[in-house]
Amino acid sequence: MKLLRYGPPGAEKPGILDDAGGIRDLSAVIPDISGEVLSDEGLEKVRALDPATLPVVEGNPRIGPCVGNIGTFICIGLNYSDHAKEAGMPVPTEPIVFLKAASAVCGPNDNVEIPRGSTKTDWEVELGVVIGKRAKYISEDEALDHVAGYCVANDVSEREFQSERGGQWTKGKSHDTFAPIGPWLVTRDDVPDPQNLDLWLEVDGVRRQNGNTGTMVFGVPKIISYLSHFMTLNPGDVISTGTPPGVGMGHKPDPIYLRPGQVMTLSVAGLGTQTQTTVKA
């Protein structure tokens, strides 16, 4: 099942993709794709519907972030060993955890802003995990039962702000538009193995990243279990699980970074494709 949110920023409505790839309106059935709607019970209510009986959404509306009212947006750093190598950092022995501001979340095809004063804005295609059931002190064996679904995420990063300005990584990760998610939330029953998904990213048509989630240092069950021992995960929280090699920071012989007017295209197998144009903030 592929769920999405469509409409103007801040006024998105919930929708579902039908068998022909068209959008059907869910707003008479659920208030949003958020919170308890993401529970097994909430999703089962939607799954029981015949999309063909729902109103057709005409035209080509803007696609918003696939989850609304996100409480916590959590990221895992250096979670592919080849990416750690290109960053010149050791492979982590425990997951590296940092947060993005929820205000950074945007739609999958919205413009991405280059912050004022930025010289090192970078790209990162990632698998996003959406929590559907409260998780606290859970085991790895239980972890996937707490997942509502998966999505494409772009962990856009300003490397100078992240690494050269002191303090935590969060300041280089949280500019407005630095967390495009979607186009869809694909429910977990349609993703039988989150550790076997190809993912890639292109800038201006040049392939920069190719990877597979099977090469993560820490898989999805480990990440969810690990996080649940440090914080409570709630329905609608999003976890961005790390990026494969090929980011601009790691380009040889010299790093390359985003400039206004460039186009990023990225995808995770089965989860849809994002396309963003970079603009000045």
pLDDT of residue 233: 98
59 inside domain: no
pLDDT of residue 90: 87
Q: What is the pLDDT of residues 131-165, one digit of tens each?
A: 999 999 999 999 999 999 999 999 999 999 998 88
Burial 116-130 (b: 16+ CB within 10 A, else e): eebebbbbbbbbbbb
Q: What is the pLDDT of residues 39-80, one digit of tens each?
A: 999 999 999 999 999 999 999 999 999 999 999 999 999 999
Mean pLDDT of the chain: 96
61 inside domain: no
Within this chain, do residues 103 and 221 fall inside the same structural domain, yes or no?
yes
121 inside domain: yes
User: What is the extent of the structural domain holding 42?
Assistant: 2-53
Within this chain, do residues 257 and 123 fall inside the same structural domain, yes or no?
yes
Judge whether residue 18 has pLDDT over 80: yes
Q: Are 177 and 111 in contact (CB under 8 A)?
A: yes
Within this chain, do residues 6 and 144 fall inside the same structural domain, yes or no?
no
Judge whether residue 167 has pLDDT over 80: no
Which whole number is the average pLDDT over 79-105?
90
Within this chain, do residues 132 and 91 fall inside the same structural domain, yes or no?
yes
Total domains in the chain come to 2
67 inside domain: no
Within this chain, do residues 190 and 248 fall inside the same structural domain, yes or no?
yes
63 inside domain: no
Which residue in 130, 135, 164 sits closest to 147, CA to CA?
A: 130
Q: Could you tell me the CATH number of the domain that includes residue 134?
A: 3.90.850.10
Which whole number is the average pLDDT over 72-98?
90
Within this chain, do residues 44 and 169 fall inside the same structural domain, yes or no?
no
Within this chain, do residues 138 and 249 fall inside the same structural domain, yes or no?
yes
Q: Are 79 and 218 in contact (CB under 8 A)?
A: yes
206 inside domain: yes
Q: What is the pTM of this model?
A: 0.96
Within this chain, do residues 94 and 200 fall inside the same structural domain, yes or no?
yes
pLDDT of residue 11: 97
Q: How far apart are the first and last CA of the chain?
A: 35
Judge whether residue 32 has pLDDT over 90: yes
171 inside domain: yes
pLDDT of residue 166: 82
Name 206's Cβ contacts closer than 8 Å, sequence gap at least 6.
none
| Partners of 149 in beta bridges | 130, 187
Within this chain, do residues 6 and 84 fall inside the same structural domain, yes or no?
no
Ranges of H-type helices in 92-236: 140-143, 159-163, 220-228
pLDDT of residue 116: 97
Within this chain, do residues 108 and 170 fall inside the same structural domain, yes or no?
yes
pLDDT of residue 38: 98
Within this chain, do residues 33 and 160 fall inside the same structural domain, yes or no?
no
26 inside domain: yes
CA distances from 180 to 9, 59, 111, 174, 245 (A): 13, 22, 9, 11, 19
CA-to-CA distance for 107 and 103, rounded, in angstroms? 12
Q: Encoding tokens for residue 105? A: 């979340």
Q: Do you find a cis peptide bond into 55, omega within 30 degrees of 0?
A: no
Within this chain, do residues 43 and 142 fall inside the same structural domain, yes or no?
no
For residue 76, the one-letter residue type is: I
